[in-house]
Chain A
Amino acid sequence: MNSIILTAATRVITPLMVAFSLFILLRGHNEPGGGFIGGLVATTAFALYAKALGVRATRAALRVEPAAIAVAGLGLAALAGLWGLLAGGAFLEGMWPLLTTTPSGDKAGLPLGSVLLFDVGVYLVVVGSVLAILFALEEDVAASSPEEAD
């Protein structure tokens, strides 16, 4: 698509959207949000990029093949599960290595652990699989209508 407004705006909006998607991913830890919805927002950012600048430019910007992103995400989620299994005894059990219990019974420290790892995995699976489908469709359309190919 040749629209200078869209192209110029996309260059600004895409990084903002990706940053926002990371915010949603982290926010989902205790509030509405999370890996799935964050991943969809990030996907929208790349979809916009692909619309404005073409699929080839988006693939170059991503550097990694979408399917590989999805499988890497699946691997992270599986690792988060195994972590719980090996350290806690149950697959997917939440592990909080940086969290300690104070003498008064409260929790102190940084609530980072296997749950966030799992959520990051979900985020990557969503980004990778939706983009893989989207790119395949876009490239099919581009191949069947030569004047739109970039």
Chain B
Amino acid sequence: MVLLTLALVVPLATAILTFLARRTPGLQRGLSVAGAAALLAVSLVLGAEVVAGGPIAATMGGWPAPFGITLVADLLSAAMVVITGVIALAVAVYGLGEIDPAEERIGHHTLLHALLLGVTGAFLTGDLFNLYVWFEVMLIASFGLLALGGRPDQLDGAIKYVALNLVSTLAFLAGVGLLYGATGTLNMADLHGAVPDLDNATVVFTTAALLLFAFSVKSALFPVFFWLPASYHTPSVTTSAVFAALLTKVGVYALIRVFTLIYDAGMPLIQELLLVAAGLTMLTGVLGAAAQNDIRRILSFHIISQIGYMVLGLALYTPLAIVGAIFYIIHHIVVKANLFLVGGVVKKLTGSEDLARIGGLWAAAPWLGVLFLIPALSLAGIPPLSGFWAKLVVIKASLEAEHYVLAATALVVGLLTVYSMSKIWLEAFWKPHPEPARAAGRGLDRGESWALLAPIVGLAAITVLIGLVAAPFYAVSTTAADQLLDPSAYVTAVLGARP
């Protein structure tokens, strides 16, 4: 399938071309936006193809699976790639109004598209070792993006980020090595058949635990989330937004993929670990956010708490819960990226992200207040926005599975999220500016306001759309969950029909 390859070739080519055009900023920006738009277009066609005809696969170099490298898209992968395309276009446009020209010159656009390449690669690969490679591509690109500004606090965040992520990739590699030794294959569809046949329970559990640890670090689960609040508030807002939207979600995607296709999340001990981790992740994230006073720090801690809901969906391991997890990821990526983008505009208008030093935005820019409220209320789960349905499904699933404590935790965390969002609202928008001289704020010039506001309005529209017309999104999540729980179509697409 050419489409699957194109989804990787487009960001790769864009990364190369934006580097070659580094001396002509205008051309570089145009290429970056065009590349992101092309990625969105390819992903939409891919999504339509998979919705219409089920999972599709392609092999690299013409070597058939399970010997060659396989790319495969079932509905979950395709949906994730589509949402990556949406975020790519949003941040590429937003970057035009926000990124410092010096950072553009030394490679912001190139690294951004390299990161998108890693993300799409991780979503589309059908091979466990390749997943590791794509994780490394993402890690290198994101390290570059974090360190690009060269400020001491940025380097501090970048080093913490890389050190903790290297530990996780080491565990990942160890798990992959053991699994290869035990089964002789790393093709995920092949492993689906091979792992249940292993009679050595120790190997199965050890590899599962190593992969669980690796992906938990990537998705910032309790208690291995420290890298996230240490680094997400330091780079440019564009970079923060793309990190917040995609990086941890690749970890959650890997958890869902590996613990439905290769192992099942219902296996003893793994399920208990996931359940406990999900509950504590929700709580620590939201409590951490309550203690912060800086917009991006608050939002970073909220990523952690929201990851808890998604992993809760996987950990419950009922069909409804997995539907909830997938719906939650789709909703969360859009909302979270948007909140960071709004935070960037707040910073532009008032000159700071520290809630104590800003204010008066409701008087100066009421439109921004509305644009903030849409994703903020959605994050907290207020109907009829997208977050309401996402939370509803996950909580309903945990009630059905009789995990009442976790359901109660999810509800309380939702309430505390409202508290954090209203804190940003009261401090940044409602209270008067502490320095009355700056109350009016600086305005945005015309080009800037287009670049900054168009992505925010677009993402807010998607949030409202998911909220008001939830049925098609729910139907896609249901089909994706069915394909995860019964991966026979996935396996057939990769390995061909077997007797």
* Chain B residues closer than 8 Å to A85, beta-carbon distance: 2, 5, 9
A85-B2, A91-B5 known; A78 vs B61 contact (CB < 8 Å): no
B355 at the interface (CB under 8 A from A): no
Mark each residue of chain B from 234 to 252: 1 if its CB lies under 8 Å from any CB of chain A, else 0.
0000000000000000000
A88 at the interface (CB under 8 A from B): yes
Query: Do most interface residues of chain B lie in helix, strand or loop, or is the interface mixed?
Result: helix
CA distance A80 to B429 in the complex (A): 54
B101 at the interface (CB under 8 A from A): no
A71-B16, A71-B19, A71-B20 known; A81 vs B58 contact (CB < 8 Å): no
Q: Indicate if the CB atoms of B60 and A90 lie closer than 8 Å.
A: yes
A112 to chain B, nearest CB (A): 18
A78-B9, A81-B9, A85-B2 known; A90 vs B16 contact (CB < 8 Å): no
* Chain A residues closer than 8 Å to B268, beta-carbon distance: none
B187 at the interface (CB under 8 A from A): no
A71-B20, A85-B2, A91-B5 known; A78 vs B60 contact (CB < 8 Å): no
A52 at the interface (CB under 8 A from B): no
Q: Indicate if the CB atoms of A91 and B61 lie closer than 8 Å.
A: yes
Q: Indicate if the CB atoms of B9 and A82 lie closer than 8 Å.
A: yes
A105 to chain B, nearest CB (A): 20
* Chain B residues closer than 8 Å to A81, beta-carbon distance: 5, 9
CA distance A74 to B13 in the complex (A): 9
A111 at the interface (CB under 8 A from B): no
Mark each residue of chain A from 82 to 96: 1 if its CB lies under 8 Å from any CB of chain B, else 0.
101100111111100
Which size class do B's interface residues fall under?
10 to 19
B90 to chain A, nearest CB (A): 26
Interface residue count for A (Cβ, 8 Å)?
17
Q: Indicate if the CB atoms of A93 and B61 lie closer than 8 Å.
A: yes
Mark each residue of chain B from 3 to 26: 1 if its CB lies under 8 Å from any CB of chain A, else 0.
001000100110110011000000
B447 at the interface (CB under 8 A from A): no
Mark each residue of chain A from 42 to 57: 1 if its CB lies under 8 Å from any CB of chain B, else 0.
0000000000000000
Q: Indicate if the CB atoms of A90 and B59 lie closer than 8 Å.
A: yes
Which residues in window 89-135 of A have CB below 8 A to B?
89-94
B499 at the interface (CB under 8 A from A): no
* Chain B residues closer than 8 Å to A74, beta-carbon distance: 12, 15-16
B62 at the interface (CB under 8 A from A): yes
Which residues in window 9-32 of A have CB below 8 A to B?
none
Q: Indicate if the CB atoms of B9 and A91 lie closer than 8 Å.
A: yes
Query: Do most interface residues of chain A lie in helix, strand or loop, or is the interface mixed?
Result: helix
A33 at the interface (CB under 8 A from B): no
* Chain A residues closer than 8 Å to B110, beta-carbon distance: 71
A78-B9, A91-B5 known; A84 vs B16 contact (CB < 8 Å): no
A126 to chain B, nearest CB (A): 15
Q: Indicate if the CB atoms of A78 and B16 lie closer than 8 Å.
A: yes
Q: Which residue of B lies closest to A81 (CB)?
A: B9
* Chain A residues closer than 8 Å to B19, beta-carbon distance: 67-68, 71
A68 to chain B, nearest CB (A): 8
A84-B61, A90-B59 known; A78 vs B5 contact (CB < 8 Å): no
A43 to chain B, nearest CB (A): 18
A71-B19, A85-B2, A85-B5 known; A92 vs B61 contact (CB < 8 Å): yes
A115 to chain B, nearest CB (A): 10
CA distance A67 to B20 in the complex (A): 10
A54 to chain B, nearest CB (A): 24
B283 to chain A, nearest CB (A): 42
* Chain B residues closer than 8 Å to A71, beta-carbon distance: 16, 19-20, 110
CA distance A78 to B16 in the complex (A): 10
* Chain A residues closer than 8 Å to B2, beta-carbon distance: 85
* Chain B residues closer than 8 Å to A93, beta-carbon distance: 61-62
Interface centre among B2, B15, B62 (most CB of A within 10 A): B62
Please name 18 further chain A to chain B contacts, defined as beta carbons within 8 Å, in addition to the given A85-B2, A94-B62, sorted by A numbering.
Answer: A71-B16, A71-B110, A74-B12, A74-B15, A75-B16, A78-B9, A78-B12, A81-B5, A81-B9, A82-B9, A84-B62, A85-B5, A85-B9, A90-B61, A91-B5, A91-B61, A93-B62, A94-B61
> Interface on B for A, CB 8 Å cutoff?
2, 5, 9, 12-13, 15-16, 19-20, 58-62, 110
The 8 closest A-B pairs by CB, nearest first: A90-B62, A92-B61, A93-B62, A91-B5, A71-B19, A75-B16, A92-B60, A93-B61
